[in-house]
């Protein structure tokens, strides 16, 4: 008999209809953390319609521990670029604060890497808030690197309805 407590196992799988409430809750947590909760408009219906339809616009992997969803990796594909291969965009990787030292983030990132291989993607890309030092350290430790050639730009006002 071992006196060492067992560490709960983190499992990662594609999300299902029964996960939508938990997924939305984690998306909201992320929106608070990244300071855009005032603009957050995603609903359960949006997740179902756009993530679980016959032609989904995005995918979500969930990290689960003891039956609870503790993390998400939201992703989508750019079908091809200059090398004629898809690019996997990691839109959101988020683990609930209480579960951040349990390996869920790494497990989700590993699943994203495996998915990229399955679709023959040439690379995985994502953005990180400038002040999110912990995320940058996490990604660097996992082998990620800042893109030295490109910076993010956007057109916001020009595409809004008049």
**SS3 sequence, the chain?**
CCCCCCCCCEEEEECCHHHHHHHHHHHHHHHHHCCCHHHCCCCHHHHHHHHCCCCCCCEEEEEEECCEEEEEEEEEEECCCCCCCCEEEEEEEEECHHHCCCCHHHHHHHHHHHHHHHCCCCEEECCCCCCCHHHHHHHHHCCCCCCCCCCCCCCCHHHCCC
For the segment 129-152, what is each residue's pLDDT rounded down to a tens digit?
999 999 999 999 999 999 999 988
Quote the pLDDT of residue 3.
63
| Domain boundaries 10-147, CATH class | alpha beta
For the segment 100-127, what is each residue's pLDDT rounded down to a tens digit?
999 999 999 999 999 999 999 999 999 9
Q: pTM for the complete prediction? A: 0.90
Q: Where are the domains of the chain?
A: 10-147
């Amino acid at each position: 008999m071992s006196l060492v407590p067992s560490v709960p196992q983190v499992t990662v799988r594609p999300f299902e209809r029964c996960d939508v409430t938990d997924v939305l809750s984690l998306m909201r947590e992320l929106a608070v953390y990244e300071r855009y909760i005032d603009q957050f408009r995603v609903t359960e219906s949006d997740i179902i319609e756009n993530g679980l339809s016959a032609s989904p616009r995005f995918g979500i992997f969930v990290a689960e521990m003891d039956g609870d969803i503790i993390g998400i990796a939201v992703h989508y594909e750019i079908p091809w670029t200059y090398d004629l291969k898809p690019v996997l965009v990691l839109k959101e990787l988020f683990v609930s604060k209480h579960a951040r030292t349990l390996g869920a983030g790494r497990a989700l990132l590993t699943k994203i890497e495996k998915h990229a291989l399955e679709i023959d993607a040439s690379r995985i890309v994502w953005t990180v808030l400038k002040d999110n030092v912990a995320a940058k350290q996490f990604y660097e430790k996992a082998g990620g690197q800042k893109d030295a050639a490109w910076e993010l730009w956007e057109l916001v006002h020009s595409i809004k309805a008049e």
